[in-house]
Amino acid sequence: MKNTPFTEKHIALGAKMADFAGYNMPISYSGINDEHAAVRNNVGVFDVSHMGEFMLKGPGALELIQRLTSNDAAKLTNGKAQYSCLPNENGGIVDDLLVYCIEENNVYMLVVNAGNIEKDWKWISNRNINNVEMHNISDKTGLLAVQGPNATKIIQGLTEMDVLNLKYYTFTKGKFAGVDNVIISATGYTGAGGVEIYFSTESAGEDKDAAADKIWEAIFTAGAPQNIKPIGLGARDTLRLEMGFCLYGNDIDDTTSPLEAGLGWITKFTKEFTSSDIFAKQKEEGPSKKLVGFEMKEKGIARHDYEIKTFEGEVIGRVTSGTQSPSLGKAIGIGYVDTYHSAIGTSIFISVRNSLLKAEVVKMPFV
């Protein structure tokens, strides 16, 4: 397993560790419910340094991104980011990602899922017909997500950059906690507000983990009066599920289209891109299945790949993610169902062992 710059800190803090996408990652510290509540109501820190980062540079960078991603990156100006996806050639999704505009028309950073770093790099490289300069900086980039309603108040005291007034999906770059060239981005995977902090772990003349140590210690020292907490990937999953955010490999993959997944808003037909003709036809005709949110009406938790059925037992879909919502105190889930059964208020049934448990399609986000 690979380590992040913070692995030893997680172990020292007593985190429950596990393999995630080939990295030794913290799953929980004080417990998922406690950590979940800390982020929703206060502030918490996630180590997400396992995520992948690619730099694309040169006059052809934007053209390459436009050709391979579903969203319209031409709308990005310096300091703005967008959520997008890499469609495959069959109308599925290679990965979902963030596109950061560092320098308009010339320098972009792509942030991809940890488990897809090699896959995405090959996909983009093989289609880089204009020799755009590409750098995989994943192994030398640290990333902390400081999330929650009190996150920016704590972060602001550690930099002269204006963090408090960062608009959603914008970013700024400068000195943070004594470390140069840090990107602070008003993004995250929790729906609780806050920022993500990108930095290089390769600082000239310093120990490899010096920047990471400085940033970690500064954040936790500044946040101590606010009872800031380290948060594991377990709570990251419950937080994102309450918001209805898709997890690659569960809710979206090479066999699902962005339109089926409710991601039509990142599928722009103002340009041509991989599978855009497939998606245009799908938009015109309507997808045959849709990703919906549901609440359990009977006791039980819907797990990944459980069948979704009608009362009569007809299979109409499958669960992609499910959990007991810490915020709501009830079981929730998301899954694909035939479009005919996707309307809000529709009763569906989750096949749990030998029972059919009633659930109801609800609007997302759940909170």
365 preceded by cis ω (within 30°)? yes
Which of 220, 365, 222, 234 lies closest to 295 in space, CA to CA?
365
Which of 105, 108, 110, 107 lies closest to 121 in space, CA to CA?
110
Residue 206 pLDDT grade (very low, low, confident, very high; cuts 50, 70, 90) = low
pLDDT at 275 over 70: yes
pLDDT at 204 over 90: no
User: Is the distance from CB of 280 to CB of 265 less than 8 angstroms?
Assistant: no
Instruction: Give the H or E element holding residue 221.
Output: helix 210-223
Round the average pLDDT of the chain to a whole number and report it: 97
Q: Which residues pair with 289 in a beta bridge?
A: 338
What is the 3-state secondary structure of 144-168?
A: EEEECCCHHHHHHCCECCCCCCCCC
Mean pLDDT of 13-42: 98
pLDDT at 214: 96
pLDDT at 354: 87
User: Per-residue pLDDT tens for 222-237?
Assistant: 999 999 999 999 999 9
pLDDT at 144 over 80: yes
Helix (H, G, I), strand (E, B) or coil at 347: strand
Which residues make Cβ contacts (< 8 Å) with residue 195, sequence separation at least 6? Answer: 145, 146, 147, 151, 152, 155, 163, 166, 184, 185, 186, 187, 188
Widest distance between CA atoms in the chain = 68
pLDDT at 209: 75
Q: What percent of the chain has pLDDT over 70?
A: 98
pTM of the model: 0.97
Residue 208 pLDDT grade (very low, low, confident, very high; cuts 50, 70, 90) = low
CA 147, CA 225: separation in Å to the nearest integer? Answer: 16
Which two three-digit tokens encode residue 234?
Answer: 């377990």
Residue ranges in 7-139 assigned as alpha helix (H): 7-12, 32-41, 61-68, 117-125
Mean pLDDT of 74-83: 98
pLDDT at 157: 97
- How buried is residue 301: exposed, middle or buried, by Cβ count under 10 Å (0-12/13-18/19+)? middle
Written as one letter, the residue type at 153 is: K
Which two three-digit tokens encode residue 156?
Answer: 């602001």
